[in-house]
């Protein structure tokens, strides 16, 4: 199988299984082991071979301990908890733990506040997911365009058109794009979010 076919299959997996829609969260509270099982089933494409699950009970406990997730209600986790767990999962790929704590703490504080008007966390998550969903097919188109551009570049300069060279260029290009987005996220956290929080 050429790498293009493999990329198509992983992109299909990512587009179809790489996220959890708000409507997919169960409409009942779950105990911790059930919540971990649910998250692992929904996010299974992120599990690396021969490694621990995407989300363990210990991770969930740490999220609560570090104010990335509200405390469960009578040891049960609601749809709001699952939405926040999912956000933490995505944030972990880009931010350090302290940054995630800083970002999530206002939501957790609001959730726990006795007299404040509470955010609708599921609605907030749904808004993020809806905006992302509007652009997720762009990811497929963009990667396909990158592959075409790499092939054209190699043909133009009469370089050998082989999988190894194309794949090296594609991985490097995708990493540079991811780094640019990670840079923007970090700058927003360090310089803007931190000042707004104060």
The verdict on residue 6 lying in a domain is: no
Domain boundary, last residue among 116, 134, 152: 134
Share of the chain above pLDDT 70, in %: 95
Write out the residue range of the structural domain in which residue 152 sits. Answer: 136-198
The verdict on residue 7 lying in a domain is: no
Tell me: do 129 and 142 sit in the same domain. Answer: no
Domain boundary, last residue among 134, 150, 183: 134
Q: What is the pLDDT at residue 161?
A: 63
Q: What is the pLDDT at residue 160?
A: 64
The verdict on residue 120 lying in a domain is: yes
Tell me: do 144 and 162 sit in the same domain. Answer: yes
Which residue positions in the chain have pLDDT lower than 50?
none
Tell me: do 112 and 150 sit in the same domain. Answer: no
For the chain, the farthest-separated pair of C-alpha atoms sits apart, in whole angstroms, at 69
Reported pTM: 0.86
Domain boundary, last residue among 88, 111, 134: 134
Tell me: do 33 and 76 sit in the same domain. Answer: yes
Classify burial at 15, counting beta carbons within 10 Å of its beta carbon; exposed 0-12, middle 13-18, buried 19 or more: middle
Cα separation, 85 vs 27, in Å, equals 16
Q: What is the pLDDT at residue 198?
A: 53
**Mean pLDDT value across the chain:** 89
Counted domains in the chain: 2
């Amino acid at each position: 199988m050429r790498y293009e076919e493999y990329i198509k299959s992983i992109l299909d997996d990512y587009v179809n299984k790489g996220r959890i829609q708000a409507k997919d969260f169960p409409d009942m509270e779950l105990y911790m082991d059930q919540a971990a099982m649910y998250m692992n089933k929904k996010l299974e494409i992120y599990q690396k071979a021969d490694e621990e699950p995407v989300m363990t009970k210990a991770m969930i406990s740490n999220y609560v301990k570090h104010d990335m997730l509200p405390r469960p209600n009578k040891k049960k986790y609601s749809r709001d908890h699952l939405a926040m767990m999912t956000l933490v999962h995505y944030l972990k790929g880009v931010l350090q733990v302290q940054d995630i704590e800083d970002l999530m703490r206002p939501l957790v504080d609001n959730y726990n506040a006795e007299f404040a008007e509470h955010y609708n966390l599921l609605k907030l998550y749904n808004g993020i997911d809806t905006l992302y969903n509007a652009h997720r097919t762009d990811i497929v188109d963009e990667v396909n365009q990158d592959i075409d551009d790499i092939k054209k570049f190699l043909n133009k300069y009469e370089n050998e058109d082989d999988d190894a060279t194309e794949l090296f260029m594609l991985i490097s290009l995708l990493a540079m794009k991811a780094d640019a987005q990670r840079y923007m996220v970090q700058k927003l956290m360090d310089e803007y979010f931190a000042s707004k929080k104060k």
